[in-house]
Structure 1
Amino acid sequence: MTESATKLITELTMQALSKNPVYTDTFDEKHPAEISHIQLADWADLVLIAPATANIIGKMAAGIADDMLSTTLLATQSPIMVAPAMNVHMYAHPAVQRNMNELASRGVMFVEPGEGLLACGYVGKGRLEEPEQIVSVVKNFFERRSAQAQAPLRGHKVVITAGGTLERIDPVRYISNDSTGKMGFALAKAAQQLGAEVVLIAANTSLPSPAGVQMIRLESAQEMYEAVQEHWSNTGILIMAAAVADYRPKKAADRKIKKAGDTLTLELVKNIDILETMGQQKSSQFMIGFAAETDDLEQYAMDKLKRKNCDLLIANDVTREGAGFGTDTNIVHIYDRNGLVEAMPMMSKDQLGLYILELAAQRLEEYKS
């Protein structure tokens, strides 16, 4: 407990209710052979902070260690889960949002706060999630860890595309987009972690190759299509996380185009739609598409899922802070043919990649049965 927490409920009351020792003072060593905050940090399988105030979230982001809780948090190597609770305006404050983004990028998990009447009298987002729901989230975390240990994708080949394709105008210029490939690389690491044979097809990214993954680096949409086709016959799961250019220059100049006049006209032609093409060809393959949108998220996501014959569609609003290209975090909605599967809170792309692959493994198992 923090000192502030003891103003609301005493240490003795918490000890009596929990039937466990309660720690509040970094210097109050209960056992002479142990340093309490190190012993607790090493002992934990998961550290859950509930409720988590704006203050402790800020301390965590800055690496401050000035009490028992913050000191233990710096010492632990265990996963950390945070359940925020604060006034709606505090929760939306740019500093708090920045701190949560920073923590999520480090792999800290968040239990999304609820909406409703707050202690301050306001109504809005910031209310501590119900204890039963927090317990459910913790249970799911340990169930997922157990499933991961069983390597549920062993025997499956997972092909993942990543990055933004690059379409040449001339030897020194090209058309591309803002994709860095971070989401695709996170998915590749997750698939490998779950036991799959992984092929990562990446365009226009400087990210290092993930360990244990077959890596194919290329430039254009056409090259990416050919690489996907090459592995298609024995692909179990195809994940199209790449931002594939819709158009390319009709003719790429073999020499640098020299500046002449006030305007330059480029004629563009449509690239092959890799996801739609593979959706038309698929037999037993499980296909996951991505959609980066700026408005009407659900409408566009469901339309794309059905047109391209996907099994799952991962959609995000790239205008939201903490989501989209170049960030270490993401905020997505997952859809299947029946509609929304889950609206995910902000989390690191590594965490999200693992969640998506675990969901795919679960769906594959359901299809078998």
Structure 2
Amino acid sequence: MSCQTLAKAIKDLVMTVASPPRILLIVGGGIAAYKSLELIRLIKKAGLAVSVVLTKAAQQFVTPLSAAALSGDKVYTDLFDLTDETEMGHISLSRQAELVVVAPATANLMASVANGQADDLATTLLLATDKRVLMAPAMNVRMWHHPATQRNLATLRADGVLFTGPDEGDMACGEHGLGRMSEPEAIFGAIQAALKPKARPLNGRHVLITAGPTFEPLDPVRGITNRSSGKQGYAIAAAAADAGARVTLVSGPVSLPTPAGVTRIDVETAAEMHDAVHAALPADVFVGVAAVGDWRAKEIARDKQKKGVDGELTVTLVKNPDILASIGHHPTQRPPLVIGFAAETRNVEVYGQTKLRTKGADAILANDVSKDVFDRDTTNMILIDASGPTAGKHLTKAEVAADLIQYLTTRLK
């Protein structure tokens, strides 16, 4: 090796070691965009480097000059900047960063990325990156709760995108609810957490999870089911896989994407779910989140049943197998930890404690479903185990999943 080559190698090594982690901050178009300036300041104050991309809409709220002054670097706005694109700038920008942050993440940005669109610099970067992505959603409360947004949210989470917020509060439009972008300090805290070496507390563990509803046919057309969306079980499956577990997800009929790194087994009836769960044993943890139907038709009609003259139909129902109890009391393959869920409309804590005793579970997560909570992204949850019930918490389903993973980690130790 020549002296000149050696000197260059040493210089490159020093620059690599000395270079601080770089954040790629994509600012979406929304009133919350003004908070991005404070976020840039916090990132720089911590000694991190930041490259800023402003969407066309974001430039209506934040000027490139303001972002450049705070970041101390060029601000990017156009996919067809010829100087950068001769060197494939959109590729290098997305690869040089340690973390890609989208704040605010508008409904449009989330939809574009969830559906694989790349029609401007921001979305092209998000599809070209091989780094982790953290989104801070910000939108009207009705837009946040819209089924399309929730589908996109589930898709992005399954693809490994991290989220912080949104928060609940007053909005610029005058409405109140979930949709406010998290404050810059909270987003920066999420950035710090994402940059830390990834903990894998469930590495090597097999976590077996059920999710969604079951469907019990009455005839070739009709059947008995329930209103479970599957969101909570899928959130737990994603969190368990992210924590390093080998995850088997036995799912009833839902329209959710399979979380990354999860083995999914689709079933329809409670009997099919029971058989699939037992076939997947042994496991270190069983988490019974599915809303399993308690009854099924004793006989399934071969043809579609007609209304007849009086329009009445009598169906004899018989009990379905109790999946949670069959695992909790399994004579040979009971997992070290068995967790059940209880959705109740009254006496939530009392019924949860009863279920804990009778099902052979180590813990029950009980929630009140007396109000309109189905297909929502938030829930009220009480954890009940041998030490008693915890105080009820109003959490997002992702937060419930994160808390449960922490609980499992502690118990498995």
TM-score by length of 2: 0.60
Distance 2:129 2:56 in 1: 20
- Residue 349 (structure 1) aligns with: none
After TM superposition, the structure 1 = structure 2 runs for residues 154-303 of structure 1, keeping only pairs within 5 Å, are: 154=204, 156-162=205-211, 164-167=213-216, 172=220, 175-177=223-225, 191=240, 194-196=243-245, 198=247, 201=250, 213=263, 219-221=269-271, 224-225=273-274, 235-249=283-297, 251-252=298-299, 262=310, 263-275=312-324, 278=327, 285-290=336-341, 300=348, 302-303=349-350
2:189 alignment partner in structure 1: 136
Are the aligned partners of 1:164 and 1:181 in contact in 2 as well (CA < 8 Å)? yes
8 Å contact kept, 1:167–1:245: yes
Deviation at 1:343, TM superposition (A): 1.1
Residue 106 (structure 2) pairs with residue 36 (structure 1)? no
Query: Unpaired runs of 5+ in structure 2?
Result: 1-53, 385-389
> In the aligned structure 2, how far is the partner of 1:252 from the partner of 1:64?
48
* In 1: Cα distance, 2:254 partner to 2:181 partner: 40
CA contact (8 A) 2:373 2:379 kept: no
Q: Give the structure 2 partner of residue 363 of structure 1.
A: 407
Q: Which residue of 2 aligns with 1:307?
A: 354
Q: Report which stretch shifted further, 202-211 or 51-60.
A: 202-211
Contact 2:209/2:247 (<8 A) preserved: yes
Asked if 2 retains the 8 angstrom alpha-carbon contact of 1:29 and 1:35, the reply is: no
Amino acid of the residue matched to residue 336 of structure 1? L
Asked if structure 2 preserves the Cα contact closer than 8 Å seen for 1:84 and 1:128, the reply is yes
For the residue of structure 1 that corresponds to 2:94, the secondary structure is helix
Contact 1:113 1:129 in 2 (8 A): yes
CA 1:212–1:24: 2 relative to 1, 3 Å = closer
Counterpart CA distance in 2 for 1:189 and 1:118 is: 31
- 2:118 pairs with 1:49: no
| C-alpha distance in structure 2 between counterparts of 1:207 and 1:113, whole Å | 21
Q: Describe the superposition over 1:234-284 as per-residue Cα deviations: whole angstroms up to 9, x where unpaired.
A: 5421121333111234x4379779867643322334445433565577987
The letter for the 2-side match of 1:252 is E
Q: CA shift at 1:130, angstroms?
A: 1.2
Larger Rg: 2
d(CA) in 1 for partners of 2:85, 2:280 = 61
CA-atom RMSD, angstroms? 4.9
- Report the secondary structure of 1:308's partner residue: helix
Q: State how many pairs are aligned.
A: 338
CA contact (8 A) 1:314 1:332 kept: no
The residue identity in structure 1 corresponding to 2:391 is: G
**1-structure distance, mates of 2:105, 2:256:** 34
1:336 corresponds to which of 374, 383, 397: 383
Name the aligned partner's letter for residue 289 of structure 1.
G
1:19 Cα deviation after fit: 2.9
Ranges in structure 1 where 5+ consecutive residues have no aligned partner: 325-329, 346-351
User: CA separation in 1, counterparts of 2:276 and 2:314?
Assistant: 31
DSSP 3-state at the match of 2:210: strand
Query: Which stretch of the first structure deviates more once superposed, 312-321 or 99-108?
Result: 312-321
Amino acid at match of 1:103: N
Residue 124 (structure 1) aligns with:
176
Contact 1:313–1:336 (CA under 8 A) maintained in structure 2: yes
Q: Structure 2 vs 1, CA of residues 278 and 3 (structure 1 numbering), >3 Å: closer, same or farther? A: closer
- Read off the aligned partner of 1:124 and give its amino acid letter: H
TM-score normalized by the length of structure 1? 0.66
Distance 2:110 2:142 in 1: 13
Structure 2 residue aligned with 1:101: 150
Distance 1:163 1:128, change over 3 A: closer
Identity %: 33
Q: Which amino acid aligns with 2:317?
A: L
Q: Which secondary structure state, in structure 2, belongs to the residue aligned with residue 339 of structure 1?
A: coil
> 2-side partners of 1:244 and 1:142: how far apart?
39
8 A contact 2:270–2:320 mirrored in 1: no
Tell me the secondary structure at the aligned position of residue 198 of structure 2: helix
SS of alignment partner, residue 76 of structure 2: coil
Task: Answer yes or no: is 1:114 the counterpart of 2:164.
Answer: no
The answer to whether the 8 A contact 1:203-1:217 is kept is yes
The match for 1:14 is 67
Query: CA, structure 1 residues 281+270, in 2 after alignment: closer, same or farther (shift >3 Å)?
Result: same
